[in-house]
Amino acid sequence: MTPAIAVTRASKTYRRYSHRKQFATLKSALLTRSLISNLRPDETFTALTDVSLTVPKGRTLGVIGRNGSGKSTLLKLVAGITKPTTGTVRVDGRVSALIELGAGFHPEISGRENVFINGIMLGLSKREVTRRFDDIVEFAEMREFIDAPVKTYSSGMYMRLGFAVAIHVDPEVLLVDEVLAVGDEGFTHKCLDKFADFKRRGKTILLVTHSLGLVERFCDEALWLDGGRIKGSGDPKRIVGAYLTDIEHREEQELAAGDSRARESASAAAVSPDEPAAAVLPDTPVESVTAPADMFRATEGRWGSREVEITDVTLVSGDGQAGHVFQSGEPLEIHIQLRAPLPVDDFVVGVGLFNAEGICCYGTNTSIEDLSGERLLGDAEAVFAIDALDLVEGTYKLDVGVHKEDGFPYDYHRLLYTFRVKSRAKDVGIYRPTHTWRFSGDITFKTPP
């Protein structure tokens, strides 16, 4: 059996606009006799490189990838809107592409007339549109507005009508580009039901989406594009997992880069660590020695006398790896490296956790927990160990500080460390108490497939 979609070593190169090109006109083209050569690209951007894939009839393929990874280009190639620069694309059967909904709607004429024209544009005959007209209007939930000009429609109505027409073309191959966000929850469910119906009837679907859950639930196979190349394909769960790991890895790098930038600028502003003695002289009240008046308003920064210095802070996950991205519920350790050139007996080590809105999620120190400092000299390490990181998904920032019992700061690092908590559950709030659900009586839930 021939596959519904067969893409063989397809590459797509776009011409990139430069200023010189943009202002190239007919006149200059004629003057420099470059009329023909100007029609050939010279500065190019490769959106897809050597992509091969086959989708057998009746299968659903989910395409995932970061923005700009070539997903939409692939869809346009399969739809036949653009041609591959090299390689071939073959599609068996009538294609309908849900790329731009309601493209070609004319604002001045009624929804009814637009449905007809749009249907004909998408390859139906007038009779076929007439036969499906009621279904289309019903699906779009537009019965009362169908005779009003399209310019009076809300954007949601516009999209719904466009979607309804496109889906009723009854294609063999359906291409969907991130269009499920067109309506309210109810409409989205209707769309998904319609897709499921397509699947049952043995139609082929190519789905481009950022909704990974949809790919896992709905697709038979997943394709992961990265930088215009196929980075993986196969079982949706496996591919989505690999994709998520890659995203974490990238976020990790970004956070690490961000952290080091924050620390650099903080150190530059603070007192030079080489001359800690100068900072404690009573006559030189350097701003960075004292804490800001309102601790909870303060933004990132570093201050303190440096009699005790925090030389390094690392976040270590349960498996002993230092990192910036952690799973909710897993163990997390904050390793704080301390250094005191001279012996110190009055010291408190503290940490504070803030979420992205700047709300303090948790804060504590050794003094609060009835540990009073006795002696600190040379290099030392303090580890704040969390058994289970029960935070909801989000980005968090960390305060780490060493100060006297009375609050005089030795070294205070304000929001200089960033980490991200990942979670499969999209619960809300700040804190996730360890919990389970229990039910009794006549109440049951569907078990997920």
Residues that bind other proteins (CB under 8 A): 14-15, 25-27, 29, 38-39, 76, 79-83, 95, 97, 99-100, 103-104, 106, 108-109, 113, 116-117, 120-122, 125-126, 149
Q: With respect to other proteins, which residue has the nearer C-beta, 129 or 215?
A: 129
Which of 109/386 has CB closer to other proteins?
A: 109
Looking at beta carbons only, is 149 or 373 nearer to other proteins?
149
What is the layout of strands, in order, in the sheet containing 204-208?
Answer: 95-98, 173-177, 204-208, 60-64, 221-226, 229-234
Which secondary-structure segment (H or E) carries 315?
strand 309-317
**Shortest CB 140 distance to other proteins, Å:** 18
Distance CA 345, CA 348 (A): 10
Contact 309, 272 (CB under 8 A): no
CB nearer other proteins, residue 100 or residue 345: 100
Contacts of 141 (CB under 8 A, 6+ apart): 160, 187
Which residue number, 51 or 270, has a Cβ lying nearer to other proteins?
51
Strands (E) in 68-154, as ranges, are 86-91, 95-98
Tokens (6 digits) for 33: 């006799």
3-state secondary structure of 420: strand
CB of 106 to other proteins, least distance (A): 5
In the 8-state DSSP scheme, what is residue 292?
P
Nearer to other proteins, 23 or 439 (CB): 23
Q: Which residues, at least 6 apart from 228, have a Cβ–Cβ distance to it below 8 Å?
A: 12, 46, 47, 48, 49, 51, 69, 70, 73
Residue 125, token pair as written in the block: 């005959």
Q: How far is the CB of 14 from other proteins (least distance, A)?
A: 6
CB of 1 to other proteins, least distance (A): 24
- Say which amino acid occupies 195: F
Q: Which is nearer to other proteins, 126 or 261 (CB)?
A: 126
Q: Which two tokens stand for residue 308?
A: 């005790």
Pair 98, 75: CB distance under 8 Å: no
CB 177 within 8 A of CB 75: yes
Of residues 107 and 341, the one with the C-beta less far from other proteins: 107
Residue 80 CB, shortest distance to other proteins, in Å, is 5
Least distance to other proteins from the beta carbon of 38, Å?
A: 7
Q: How far is the CB of 70 from other proteins (least distance, A)?
A: 15
> 139 in helix, strand or coil?
helix
What's the min distance (Å) between Cβ of 71 and other proteins?
A: 15
Is-contact 114 161, C-beta < 8 A? yes
Contact of 259 with 324, CB cutoff 8 Å: yes
Judged by beta carbon, residue 203 or residue 413, the one nearer other proteins is 203
| Residue 399 beta carbon to other proteins: minimum distance, rounded to whole angstroms | 50
Count of CB atoms within 10 A of residue 233's CB?
17
